[in-house]
Structure formats: C-alpha cells, structure tokens
Chains A and B, each alone.
Chain A
Amino acid sequence: MTTLTLTKTESSENLIHQAYEYVDQLLGSFNMRSSNQETVRTIKLILEELIMNSWNHGGLKYQSQYEFKIQLKIEKQEGFKIIYSASENDYDFNIYNHNRPTSPDAIGGKGVLLILNFSSKVDITREKGMNHYIIHLDG
C-alpha cells in the first residue's frame, strides 16, 4: 500500500496531484497502452471522487489542522483491483442527490454515486465496519 499524507492546512489539490502521479507511475509499470486510456481515466475518476469525498467529510473543514491520510493499492489481475482507505471515510452515499444536481455544493467532491453509476465495469464495495473500499474494474 502506498500512503499519501496531507495536513488540512494544505490544499486538497496537492493530494489529488500526488494521487495522480502515483496512478500514472503505477499504470506505467503495468505497461498500459494508449488504447487503455479509458481505463486510466476511469481509475483516476474513481480515486479523485473517493479522495474528495473523504476530504470533504464531516467537520474536517472546521479544524485548523488535521492530518489526512489515504492508502492506495492498485493490482492488475483480471482487470484492476483498487484498494482505497482514508483516515476519514464515513461517507454517506446518499448525500449526493442524483435527481437534483443543480446545487454546486451537492456535486463538487461528492461524486461517489457518480462513479457507482459510471460504468457497468465498475464494482465498488465497502466492507461493513471497515474503513476501506475495494473497487473492481474490468479493463
């Protein structure tokens, strides 16, 4: 597992940037060809939405300092298996109102349902009581 750590005093953009670099590096090691760009983009979308959901969760924004930590692992085996864990992860999928996406605050960084609906190739599970998600992606 690769651990990315950020304190709340930094910007969420930094974390996304780190995560993207990690994904690019890892997928490069899988010898992903240019024809797999859709899969690469889907993995990036899954991770960005999960990270931003975790980041925005709860009352973190009211704390002046907070160490935010995520752990990532991507395995290539009959498609991809992404294991994602965050120090704050108690996210309610229902917050994102799929039927009324007119409020900016209802959408930005709250896209877990977006990825749940994104592709029939994506299967996301969260073990009950566990603080991580396991995502399976055909590719």
Chain B
Amino acid sequence: MLYLSMKKSDDHILTLIASGELNTDTVSKFDNYVNTNITDNDHYVILDVSELEYLSSAGLRSMIILMKKLSAQNSKLIIYSPQEFVLRVLNVSGFAQLIHIAHNDEELQSLLENDSH
C-alpha cells in the first residue's frame, strides 16, 4: 500500500509525504496525486520518504518524471530522509547523483537556503 498526504507553506514549498511502498502496484496512485497537487507556484517540492519502506524501478521512473516536470518550471525536487532500503535503490540506480537528497532537517534547510529562488 502507498499512503500520500501533503503540506503547503506560504513560501512556495510543497511537502509530499509518501509512506508504505512505491512500486508497480502503487505508482499510478503516486502519479495521479502528484499531477493533481503540484502547481507552478511550488518552487520546491520536498518528497518526504521517511516512512517509505520500499521503492522499485517503477517508483524511480515516477520520481524522474516529477524531477523533469519541476525542472521545466524552474522548480526543484528534494528527497527527504530516505530509509536504508530506499537509499540503497537511489544509490545503485545512479539516481542519487541526479537529485537533491536531504538526510535530515539541517541538510534540508541548507539546500533551501543555498538555492537561488
């Protein structure tokens, strides 16, 4: 199962919280949720995966589509607090080199403060 929720803040930051499993079985739910909720006003999308237990290549595909969509509107995707299994998938796929990952609040704040938006 995949559970999704979100928080919007006044400073153009959208936080998407994904918990459970992001796989072939659940990826269409993720895609629909993302496409419904992200707007041009979201300069940063923080994908909180601290409660995400499982990620497969189908989920990676959706993350890349999301990253490209945000990049086209000059916005940024930040993956927040991946667990060990998810982090391993991000690393071995090479995806960790392409995307911003914040392992904790300090790193997240640093990424937000050092950006030019």
Say whether A associates with B.
yes
**Chain A interface (Cβ within 8 Å of chain B)?**
12-13, 16-17, 20, 37-38, 41, 44-45, 48-49, 51-52, 98-99, 101-105, 107-111, 114, 117-119
B-side residues, CB < 8 A to A, are 23-25, 28, 53-54, 56-58, 60-62, 64-65, 68, 84-85, 88-89, 92-95, 98
Give the complex CA separation of A38 and B54 in angstroms. 10
Minimal beta-carbon separation of A17 from chain B (angstroms): 5
Q: Are A13 and B24 in contact (CB under 8 A)?
A: yes
Among B24, B62, B88, the residue within 8 A (CB) of A16 is B24
**How many A-B pairs fall under 8 Å by CB?**
77
Contact B56 A20 (CB under 8 A): no
Q: Which of B25, B57, B94 contacts A108 (CB 8 A)?
A: B57
The CA-CA distance from A65 to B58 in the complex, in Å, is 23
Bound CA span A114–B53, Å: 17
Do residues B25 and A20 form an inter-chain contact, with CB atoms below 8 A?
Answer: yes
Q: Which residue of the partner chain, among B24, B25, B53, B58, contacts A41 with CB atoms under 8 Å? A: B53
Cα distance A114–B62 in the bound complex, in angstroms: 16
- Interface secondary structure of B, over-half rule: helix
19 A-B residue pairs with Cβ-Cβ distance under 8 Å, sorted by A, are: A12-B24, A13-B28, A37-B53, A41-B53, A44-B23, A48-B24, A101-B93, A102-B98, A104-B62, A107-B57, A107-B60, A107-B64, A109-B57, A109-B61, A110-B57, A111-B57, A114-B57, A114-B89, A114-B93
Q: Within 8 Å CB of B54, what residues of A?
A: 41, 44-45
* A43→B55 CA distance, assembly (Å): 12
- CB neighbours (8 Å) of B92 from chain A are 114, 117-118
A109 near B58 with CB under 8 A, answer yes
Chain A contacts of B56 at CB under 8 A?
45, 48-49, 52, 111
Also in contact, A118 and B57, with CB within 8 A (given A16-B24, A99-B94, A101-B98) = no
